[in-house]
Amino acid sequence: MGAVQDNFERLPLKDFAEKAYLDYSMYVILDRALPHIADGLKPVQRRIVYAMSELGLTALAKYKKSARTVGDVLGKFHPHGDSACYEAMVLMAQDFSYRYPLIDGQGNWGSPDDPKSFAAMRYTESRLTAYAQTLLSELGQGTVDWSDNFDGTLQEPVMLPARLPNLLLNGTMGIAVGMATDIPPHNLVEVAGACIHLLDKPDAPLEQLLEHIKGPDYPTEAEIITSADEIQKMYASGGGSVKMRAKYNEEDGNIVITALPYQVSGSKLQEQIAAQMLAKKLPMIEDLRDESDHENPTRLVLMPKSKRTNIDEVMSHLFATTDLEKSYRVNMNMIGLDGRPRVKDLREILVEWLTFRTETVRKRLQYRLDKVLARLHVLEGLLIAFLNIDEVIAIIRFEDNPKQVMIERFGITDIQAEAILELKLRHLAKLEEIKIKGEQAELEQERAQLEATLGSKELLNNLIKSELEEDAEKYGDNRRSPIVAREAAQALDTTALIANEPLTVILSEKGWIRAAKGHDFDVESLSYRSGDGFLDVAKCRSTQPVYVLDSTGRVYSTTPHDLPSARSQGEPLTGRLNPPPGSLFKYLLAGNPDDWYLVASSAGYGFRIRIEELFVKNKAGKALISLPDKSAVVKPAPIANPSDLLAVVTLQGRLLFFPIVELPELTKGKGNKIIQIPTKDLSTDKDRVVAMVAIPVNGQLVVLSGKRQLTLKVNDIAHYSGNRANRGLYLPKGFQRVDSLVSG
């Protein structure tokens, strides 16, 4: 047994896995996910269209059950899953997904609201649309290369002989391994115009082509609002994005939305708007109704609360916050004529497709020419037979090998002799010179025409142009998506969307937060969860953010208007914010954007900061104050006036006053020294800053120590005043264990 094993081919697992993955990747790219530039179809779509044409399901045929069609596609050409195959078929039938549908369906083929809600294939019926003929009409005319199907029993076309650049007309989306494609749909008339222009002027730059192709044309009447420059850049690079915006108008004071961007669900949109209304973020809208019906597939009605509501402003907000405005990625990646995937710009696509089209037409004409020449050859033989009819009949009747005898007797070819023999004797007898010569004359004329066209580039181009014009006339239509340059949508400021009312925000020791309406709220009377209690409070307005400072010196911001009511026990702040592990929420801050605060560490360093500088969008907050070793954050002190004095007191009872302007304005950092504290005392926790407060120049300071309090007047303050970073002086005995300082 061991000897047998030795002869086996051995391959390292790494090499095997790598090759297997690369093979799979290339299969997905080339045989599944990406369209071909020639007919703009992926293999599954090509197989569906071809199989349906083979079943005779043209636009004039009776509808046939989709399940039978899918069965045929799977049985003959596409050995994969039936549901994925049917899904590809459905997509080609949806007039809201495809700009020029290839399949005409009966039954439930999904709706714009829910494209995936189509009926099972056993319930739907289908046939090809008239437009599908642009892919199929030249199929039997020598224009196609054939390959074996999966089991080698049938032949299938490698590519369909498209008369139009279907890739651009219907666009496509696909995800391969390591690459994707997103080609938007375009208008047939515009694309045909650009192709004709390129045939007339092969060196025409992209700018001239864009005079014909204004931009994508989606199967919806919503507006494309991307600027012309952006569209040009997109076509020049083969990638970019297109922005679409819903159409609306005003009727009796109501906003009526009549067209939605491509593949936007009306019901999802309603959910988005309703969610804003529930969250009280659309106070100017009273009601939302869906009045869509068969005649008006899209009709969403928004009812403003008052006649004074600025409708354009509201819509601008909705464009910015809902799917009423949507961006579509463009990445024109496809398999080229060289069989390789690549992103191509618009000019490259058209030039390459025209190369394919020219070759297809050349093959078609050559095939026809060969047919004409073959028939002329046969007619020559028939004419000889007619002129020697009696002899021919005698040879056929009496000779054992009539074919050979005729070849030798009349000097005709094998093909001509075969054609004579294929005619029945009674037909031979009826041969007429006029008919033969008449057919010869017609065919000679056609031959001359075909040879002239094949021999002249100009005539060939004229033929292609006339066919493009014919198809544009037959299948073309007006642009559906208007291109309108619009200003960028602007979401309404939070302040405009929320009622401006006073709030009191309460933070508990365990980091739970809640809010009460009004500023005269009794925080003492609140109930807390067991083991929890009151920590801090901030008074603000519902339109202002609330800032939270944690034990690591980070600051976070949150909106107070959507905080739970103070009647409840609130919600944990960690649900809204994402603090580092081990940190604790310590203080709340709030105020107008221009209000100032003093931020400091217990090591005696700090700085001034405007409250708007504290704002941070991300949940993880931002570092505000750097804390030296063994120090903590001190409760920030509000600064009412730049001329205020700062009072700072340490654990040992040392008090210092100095003008607050001596401290710098910073946005973050350690700050400057406020009061001198020996490093040894800091490290052993014998001394640290315990409280600070800003007081007016002629104000008073109240020192609270246990149940006792000491009021310091102007003269006393002068006694404790000094320069920034001084050591400060001891407070009187009995007041050296300070709990807090209050501006009197």
Task: With cut-offs at 50, 70 and 90, classify the pLDDT of residue 2.
Answer: very low
Give the residue numbers annotated as catalytic, written as ranges: 123
Q: CB of 586 within 8 A of CB of 536?
A: yes
Give the amino acid at 309. Answer: T
pLDDT at 497: 66
Model confidence over 606-639: pLDDT tens digits?
Answer: 999 999 999 998 899 999 999 998 899 999 999 9
The angle formed by the CA atoms of residues 204, 219 and 285, to the nearest 5 degrees, is: 125
Task: With cut-offs at 50, 70 and 90, classify the pLDDT of residue 494.
Answer: low
Model confidence over 415-466: pLDDT tens digits?
Answer: 999 998 888 777 777 778 888 899 999 999 999 999 999 999 999 999 999 9
Separation between Cα atoms, residue 505 and residue 492, nearest integer Å: 25
**Statement: residue 294 has pLDDT above 60:** yes
Taking residues 241-257, report their average pLDDT: 94
Average pLDDT, the chain: 92
Among 133, 20, 40, CA closest to 471: 133
Which secondary-structure segment (H or E) carries 404? helix 402-410
In the β-sheet with 285-290, what is the strand arrangement from edge to edge?
247-251, 254-259, 300-304, 285-290
Q: CB of 99 within 8 A of CB of 219?
A: yes
Pairwise pLDDT comparison (46 vs 309), residue with the higher score: 46
**Statement: residue 169 has pLDDT above 60:** yes
pLDDT at 306: 83
Task: With cut-offs at 50, 70 and 90, classify the pLDDT of residue 5.
Answer: low
Give the amino acid at 672. Answer: N
Model confidence over 32-90: pLDDT tens digits?
Answer: 999 999 999 999 999 999 999 999 999 999 999 999 999 999 999 999 999 999 999 99
Indicate left, alpha or beta for 349 from its phi (over 0: left) and psi (-120 to 50: alpha). Answer: alpha
Sign of CA dihedral 74, 75, 79, 80: positive
DSSP E strand stretches across 176-284: 180-183, 223-224, 239-245, 247-251, 254-259
> Pairing between strand 125-128 and 64-65?
antiparallel
pLDDT at 680: 87
Taking residues 97-121, report their average pLDDT: 94
**Statement: residue 1 has pLDDT above 80:** no
Task: With cut-offs at 50, 70 and 90, classify the pLDDT of residue 309.
Answer: confident
Residue 729's alpha-carbon distances to 141, 308, 655, 708, in angstroms, are 106, 63, 5, 20
Structure tokens at 136: 């199929």
Model confidence over 658-704: pLDDT tens digits?
Answer: 999 999 999 999 999 999 998 888 888 889 999 999 999 888 899 98
Per DSSP, the residues of 312-364 read HHHHHHHHHHSTTEEEEEEE-EEE-TTS-EEE--HHHHHHHHHHHHHHHHHHH
Residue 616's alpha-carbon distances to 170, 430, 498, 500, in angstroms, are 45, 98, 20, 21
Taking residues 408-416, report their average pLDDT: 93
Among 279, 242, 277, CA closest to 262: 242
> Pairing between strand 554-558 and 571-572?
unpaired
Pairwise pLDDT comparison (21 vs 9), residue with the higher score: 21
**Statement: residue 3 has pLDDT above 60:** no
Taking residues 375-384, report their average pLDDT: 93
Q: CB of 304 within 8 A of CB of 284?
A: yes
pLDDT at 6: 60
Among 655, 642, 547, 536, CA closest to 592: 547
Structure tokens at 150: 């999966």
Separation between Cα atoms, residue 85 and residue 90, nearest integer Å: 9
pLDDT at 500: 74
Sign of CA dihedral 153, 158, 163, 164: positive
Least confident residue range of 374-388, 423-437, 453-467, 470-484: 423-437
pLDDT at 623: 93
What percent of the chain lies above the pLDDT cut of 90?
Answer: 72
Separation between Cα atoms, residue 363 and residue 359, nearest integer Å: 6
Cβ-proximal residues to 169 (8 Å cutoff; 6+ apart), any chain: 40, 99, 100, 185, 186, 187, 188, 191
The angle formed by the CA atoms of residues 106, 112 and 118, to the nearest 5 degrees, is: 45
Q: CB of 294 within 8 A of CB of 254?
A: no
**Statement: residue 316 has pLDDT above 80:** yes
Structure tokens at 347: 């000019």
Least confident residue range of 138-142, 399-403, 494-498, 626-630: 494-498
Separation between Cα atoms, residue 449 and residue 151, nearest integer Å: 42
pLDDT at 501: 81
Separation between Cα atoms, residue 155 and residue 77, nearest integer Å: 9
